[in-house]
Chain A
Amino acid sequence: MTRVQKAKRLGASGAHIATVLAFTLFTAFPFYWMLITTFKQTSDLMKRENNPFLLNQPPTLEHLRVLFYDTLYGRWLWNTAWVGVIVVVITLLLAVPAGYALARLTGRWGEQLGIGIFLTYLVPPTLLFIPLSRVIADLGLQDSLWSLVLVYPSFTIPFCTWLLMGFFKAIPPDLEEAAMIDGCSRLGAFVKIVIPISVAGILTVVIFTFTLVTQEFVYALTFITTASQYTVSVGVPTFLVHGDVYFWGSLMAGCFIASVPIAILYNFFVDRFIAGFTVGAVK
């Protein structure tokens, strides 16, 4: 390789790195900003002359103390986890059998039905929250976390059924057929053979359902007005942001704590998730 070629290649890889870095800066900057704001003293934050990229005064834990002791943040985290776990259970109970039936049992109808179920995932909360707010009020569930438990599976079930259908289709039918020749019923084969080897798929569904619950905003904003019943994604923007006084330190701490751990967990499963989105278009 000549020196010119070498320089050219070095330049190309330098440009590659620089562009990748620019993109990363754009996507990750708000989270870096949350993190550094969390540990800055208020007097530092409220001084326009200070370089905002640095800690101009020693770091403080005051904002975290305020967040956990003087606001309902801890309660909102707990509410979110509680709703998340129950919605995961409901989703699994309904979507696992449905996904299996679509993959194996309903035959010609299965494909159409599967696409039909997936399409309901495209029906947004924005279209349904107004009638649902009345339904929830008539059921007496207003201001209760149970309203969210009832409504959230309506968007987790369609997507998870679709995902699971893909997983079950990838399992060779011979396995169940062998078990059925040995005297297992179809249901027995499903419970004893298919479910144990689908643990990875089921775990994926658990993670997605949970993250969908933590992200949901419109329904929680509509159904709940009591501060102690909020979930994190609604409690922080509606209750910590009030009037013109912003407690930026605590606010950013609240955002950071609730987003990054979920993001890390999600990151391990994202490829399967994308596979669900692109079924049909990639083959």
Chain B
Amino acid sequence: MEARAPAVRVAADARGSRLGHILDSEKWLGWLMIGPAILYIVLLVGFPFFLALYYSVSDITIGSRSSNFVGLKNFAGIIGTAAFKTSLKNTFIFALVSQVVVLVLAKVLALLLQKDFRGKWVVRFLILLPWVAPISLGTIGWLWILDSIYSVINWTLQAMGLISPDNWPMWLGIPHLAMGSVITVHVWRLLPLATVILLAGLSSIPQDIHDAAAVDGAGFWRHLFQITVPLLLPIMTVAVLFGAVFTFTDMIVIYVLTRGGPYDTTQVLASLAFFTGIQGGDLAEGAAIALFLFPLLLAAAVVFLRIARRAEVT
């Protein structure tokens, strides 16, 4: 319904008269133009969010017609379970480890791509691929690369004489290897975005500053840590912020690669919420699990606001 609003407005404009008066007032026109978008966001983001808050303190299930208020029972119930504890721990491990690795690799890659060389646009396209292709499909590619019987990684390791044919590692079947694999796929997925964000930052540093540092005799490392990194700090924060939000809340990689297995050792909060709330049918408990992600998002929002404000002042 909201979608039709602009068409209605144009019709009103043609009619002129009193409505035309309102449209001439810039204040009213502004609110009319932005109103439908805000309404949509309130109805489909704001409302479900409060619904999630309510579900988490109720006993609602997929099949139930009515629901009762049960206080903090859901939270008390899940906090004690082993699956929840592992998921919470894994969520942090996946997000933190992949962020650190991504940041270091992206920094290196951005510095490499800053130079001009032949065929750069092909390289850029190939590096962007993991970000622009649907994640679920890219992850299936990895599922085949990490396959328990036909893994190309194992074949290569064997050809190099590093492993013997009868003990090929099961990348997704052994807890530590599975975690390593999931982290690798997260890194693969986030590297392109972090790299292009850092590249945008690098190219925004005026050449004068580099020249001045070179004249003053700054070496490579000194230049890196006293000029480039401090100037890049705000934009690195943005890269980390988006990366953190995407990894903390992601369930696609887990769902496609391991479904949380083996034995919940790669389960994260997002996937646990899905398996509990949707596949298990316990909406209340699922909502409660998902809400544990909220404090984190709030922190991300605060950081973003501070960056935006600082940019406004300068």
Contact = CB atoms under 8 A, between A and B. Distances in A.
Interface of A: 16-17, 19-20, 23-24, 26-31, 33-34, 37, 45-46, 48, 51-53, 89-90, 93-95, 97-98, 100-102, 104-106, 111, 113, 115, 117, 119-120, 122-135, 137, 150-151, 153-154, 157-158, 161, 185-188, 191, 211, 214-215, 217-218, 221-222, 232-234, 236-237, 241, 246, 248, 251-252, 254-255, 258-260, 262-264, 266-267, 270, 274-275, 277-278, 280-283
A19 B283 contact: no
Query: Which residue among A27, A53, A188 has the maximum number of chain B CB atoms within 10 Å of its CB?
Result: A27
Contacts of B308: 115, 280
B209 interface: no
Contacts of B37: 94-95, 97-98, 117, 157, 161
A221 to B, nearest CB: 8
A165 B127 CA distance: 29
B214 to A, nearest CB: 17
Contacts of A34: 141, 144
Given A33-B141, A161-B37, A94 B3 contact: yes
A31 B112 contact: no
Contact of B140 (A23, A137, A236): A236
Contact of A217 (B62, B135, B293): B135
Query: Which residue among B9, B26, B134, B150 has the maximum number of chain A CB atoms within 10 Å of its CB?
Result: B134
A45 B150 contact: yes
Contact of A237 (B29, B136, B250, B297): B136
B92 interface: no
B162 interface: no
Contacts of B7: 93
Contact of A127 (B52, B134, B307, B312): B52
Nearest to A211: B132
Main secondary structure of the interface of B (DSSP, over half): helix
Interface stretch (B76-84, B170-178, B237-245): B237-245
Given A117-B41, A263-B128, A93 B3 contact: yes
A30 B311 contact: no
Given A127-B294, A274-B200, A277-B242, A262 B133 contact: yes
Contact of B49 (A127, A217, A234): A127
B163 interface: no
Nearest to A24: B126
A252 B147 CA distance: 13
Interface in B220-260: 234-235, 237-238, 242, 245, 249-252, 255-256
Contact of A277 (B27, B60, B145, B197): B197
B6 A97 contact: yes
B33 interface: yes
Contact of B126 (A16, A27, A105, A188): A27
Contacts of A280: 238, 307-308, 311-312
A237 B20 CA distance: 53
A111 B45 contact: no
Given A129-B274, A248-B144, A255-B141, A281 B134 contact: no
The 4 closest A-B pairs by CB, nearest first: A105-B30, A259-B133, A30-B141, A131-B51
Nearest to B256: A237
Given A232-B137, A277-B242, A187 B23 contact: yes
Interface residues of B, number: 111
Query: Which residue among B124, B129, B255, B277 has the maximum number of chain A CB atoms within 10 Å of its CB?
Result: B129
Contacts of A150: 44
Contact of B201 (A104, A117, A133, A278): A278
Given A94-B40, A131-B287, A222-B278, A258 B112 contact: no
B141 to A, nearest CB: 3
Contacts of A255: 137-138, 140-141
Nearest to B195: A23
A127 B30 contact: no
A46 B147 CA distance: 11
Nearest to B121: A267
Nearest to B2: A94
Contact of A281 (B30, B145, B155, B307): B307
A157 B143 CA distance: 33
Contacts of A133: 62, 277-278, 283
19 contacts: A16-B112, A24-B127, A27-B191, A45-B150, A48-B150, A106-B30, A115-B305, A117-B41, A131-B283, A133-B277, A137-B62, A186-B26, A187-B13, A221-B274, A234-B136, A237-B140, A241-B256, A267-B128, A277-B197
Contacts of A191: 10
B273 interface: yes
Contacts of B191: 26-27
B40 A154 contact: yes
Contacts of B130: 27, 30
